[in-house]
Structure formats: structure tokens, C-alpha cells
Chains A and B, each alone.
Chain A
Amino acid sequence: MHMPDGLINAQVSIGAAVIAAGAITVGLKKSKGTLDSQTAPLAGLVAVFIFAFQMMNFPVAAGTSGHLMGGALASILVGPYVAILVMTVVVSLQALVFADGGLSALGLNLLNMGIVSIVVSTILFAGLMKLLPKTRISIIGVSATVAFISVLASAGAFVFEYSLGGNATYNIASVLISVMSVHVLIGIGEAIITGLTIGAILATRADLVYGARKFLPAHNLLIKESVVA
């Protein structure tokens, strides 16, 4: 999903960079001092974890691979604002240090793999959890579903950006079909990894999962918090 340089023109790349910079500023402001001494270490760890799993390409169809993107995972684990910082660190270092993803396409990559994915995941997670029983199984199922859709959203964002400023000659309908069909498969991988990771942490330390804290109030710490609020 890392876009190389030259795919999309300068105007759209700059526009994406401006939007990304705005979102990062919001993330920096809203996340400052929001996690306690228990949950804060998770924020840094999530960045390392997503970076590592992004190196692991899994085969999805003949001659194609995919890897975890992590926007959904990050937003469920540490909340949307901290997730923006996490994805910014991961995607920026990939481009700057490892030449994975173009430098002029950095704004586009931050937008697609970070911001779009986080916004879609956060809204969808909250919406689906409203409808379902507040159990551990629901949280895992919703996490996997949200992860799947977040990949489609990132892929859709790419197609939209390409339609605005693609450098080659293209037929947007066939670009859409081509990009979306392969990302349906990659989305399944994203759903599996996200569901398993969230499930593993829920089983051990449910109180550390941002998305679950509101729904699993059995934990002492949370009862204290809700009294204060």
C-alpha cells in the first residue's frame, strides 16, 4: 500500500501532505498527557509492533502479497489521537530510513494508511459496538470487521486521489476494480491479524485496550474513573 513517487502529481501530493500535517497537529494536541502510566508504554510498543508486522508480507493471490497496515489496530488499542502519532512514526520512518514509500508521496501515504484508516476505524468501531452486546467476543469481531473495512477505505482513498491527480492515462472504473479486488483479500489478512492481536491483549490485560475500556467496566480502575467523570 506504500505509494512510490511519481504515481500522483505534485498538487495532489502537496494537498495530501497539508491534510496529513493538520491531522498530525490535532493528534499531537489531543493526545498529550492522555494515557496513564499503565497504558502509555503501549503507545510506543504499538508503533514497533506495526512496523514489524508491516515487514511481513503474506501471499494473497497468484503473484500478489499484502501486509498489515495497522491503522485499525492502533486506533482500537490506543485511541484515534495517539494512533495518528503511531502511524506517523511508522510510515515516516519507513519512507525516510528504508525508502519504503516515496518521499514526495509521504503525505499521501500518511493520509491513506494513517488518517483515513484511523478515522474510518474509530467511527465504525463506535457505531458497531453501540449495536452489539458489550462482550469480549463482540469487541474482537468488531475489531476484525473494522480492520477489513479500513483497508478498503485506504484503497478507496488511493483511487480517489488517483482520479484527482494520476500521472498516467487511466480508466478510473478499471483502476477501481483492480485496486479494490486485491485489497478485499489483503483486508482479510488485516482482519485476522487485528482480531488475533486484540483478542490476545483482551485475554491478558483488557484494561489496556482503549476501545474496550468503556465496554468492560468490571475492572476496578474503570469504575473509579467513571465515578470521577
Chain B
Amino acid sequence: MSSKKLFLIGLLVSFLVAGFFSFYSSSQPDGLQKATAEQGLDLTVVDSANADSSLANYGVAGIENERLSGFLGGAIGVAVVGIAGTGIYFWVRTPKSGETK
């Protein structure tokens, strides 16, 4: 398989997971939340300064439809991380002149 094809499949899977399948993600507290609540450690927890930002919790504020809100949140997330990931790509790749091929 060409790396381009593998790359596109990886991107598609990520997009589907973030945009569509995440709707079926468990909404139960995660392991750390559960354990800290059990031990009474969560009493000191405060909301993050950006807790009511428009993308908090991977949804888009103001969109009533949960499925749509989650889809947009996931899609925006994949796009934002993708842009930052492109930055990693340019950082780690060997400069053209230095390529040994």
C-alpha cells in the first residue's frame, strides 16, 4: 500500500471516530474522575478558566442537536489537530537537500 493511501485511510478513520462514532462514546465519568470522586478528592476541583468556551466538551455551544454539535466539535478538532500535526510534519521531515535517495 502506498503511504499516501495509508495516510488517507488513517485520516478518514480519525474523522469518522471523532465526528460520528464519538456520539456513542460512554458518558460515564472516566477512571480518574471516578477514582477521585470515590476518594473525595474532587471537592477541591474548580472549573477550567475556559470551561464555558464555545467548544468545551467537544461540542459547539448553541447547537441544540447533540449529534450535529458533536459532529462539528469532532470535525473542528480533527482540523485543528491536523493543522498542528502538519506543523510536526514540517519540523520532523528531512530537508529535501539532505534526503538520501
Contacts and interface: CB of A to CB of B under 8 A. Distances in A.
- Chain B associates with chain A: yes
B27 A57 contact: yes
A42 B7 contact: yes
Contacts, number: 233
Interface residues of B, number: 65
A170 B41 contact: yes
Contacts of B58: 55, 98, 100
Interface string B1-45: 101001100110111011001100111111110111011111111
Contact of B77 (A43, A55, A78): A55
B40 A35 contact: no
B6 A89 contact: no
Nearest to A53: B17
Interface in A78-105: 78, 82, 85-86, 89-90, 93, 95-103
Main secondary structure on B side of the interface with A: helix
Contact of B31 (A1, A168, A169, A204): A1
Nearest to B36: A7
Contacts of B64: none
Contacts of B27: 57, 65
18 contacts: A3-B32, A36-B93, A43-B85, A43-B89, A44-B84, A51-B78, A52-B15, A56-B21, A63-B34, A64-B31, A65-B29, A86-B85, A89-B87, A93-B77, A99-B53, A178-B35, A179-B35, A205-B3
